[in-house]
Structure 1
Amino acid sequence: MYPLERFEITQQPKRQVDILMLLDEVKRSPFIGEISPDEITRLLREDAVLFFYEGDILAGLAGWNTIHGTWVEAGPFYTAEAYRGQGLGSLMFDTTVERLQRQAGHKLYAVTKNPMVKLMFLKRGFHQVRIWALPRAVQVYLLKKLTPRRLLRHVRKLRFGDSVSHFIKDGSSG
């Protein structure tokens, strides 16, 4: 593991090609549903994404989406393959959650099928819930996000035994 201080956090990409290269890698990931150039553009417009660089190399990105009222989705998150296992994913997640919790009253929703990320959520005070037990605002948000293209992408990435898990953390849960 390397010192995490080596990463520079920016609110804008240093170069547009950085995003394209990362998005190309995302397409091959079995764990992430989808991040499109349009989604990155929207996150940038909404000031809802952070980029993590080592020098001039984009090592990862962390975003968030306003759901409704005080509910926010923590994600998408993506760590470049070359930086996995070094603590960057935890740094990105903690930086994002800290930022969201500083904004009064945010309740957090997160989803993943990555077993390591599931453990990270639990260690950080998130509670795993079934989709039908999610708050109504989160359920409506998820239904609105479900397009035929996203559904097809999720089905293609679905592997036996890898279930998607939903997590919530409200202001009172640590």
Structure 2
Amino acid sequence: MVSVSLCMIVKNEEDVLGRCLESVSHLVDEIVIVDTGSTDRTKEIAARFTDKIFDFPWRDDFAAARNESFSHASMDYCMWLDADDVLLEEDQKAFLALKETLDPAVSVVMAPYHTGFDQGGHVTFSYYRERLIKNRAGMAWAGAVHEAVTPTGKVLYADFAVTHR
């Protein structure tokens, strides 16, 4: 089974961070939090889940902050989430199944990102994002805003989804 570091950048996320981490803490092998200047209880909440909390002065560059979070990861793959993202129960099961069977030759796992919902909570908009990135494989975040990683190597499209709440 591969190992996964959850790598997050946060700032003033006390209202949603606990919900996010509760949905994934039992799925990952390490949690890395990079705080870009919180003035609320964000770091206190993060400390309930990890001792790997790092300060990174905000410099108007999301890619720089994400690359900083990845630099502290020690597992096989890095997974990113925003504090207002969650993995629903069925997606948690699918994530674990993938983690148990993932071929280590895979460089990037793309997963659906559910971001739009109707009044009944049904997904109305979803798109694939790079979600698991092989650690130390030479890929890096680029773009000060709307940052992304350009996948290289073997890419796998996964069944688990991340839900934006």
Q: Give the alignment's TM-score, normalised by structure 2.
A: 0.29
* Greater share of residues in strand: 2
RCO comparison, higher one (Cα < 8 Å, 6+): 2
* Greater share of residues in helix: 1
Q: Give the alignment's TM-score, normalised by structure 1.
A: 0.28
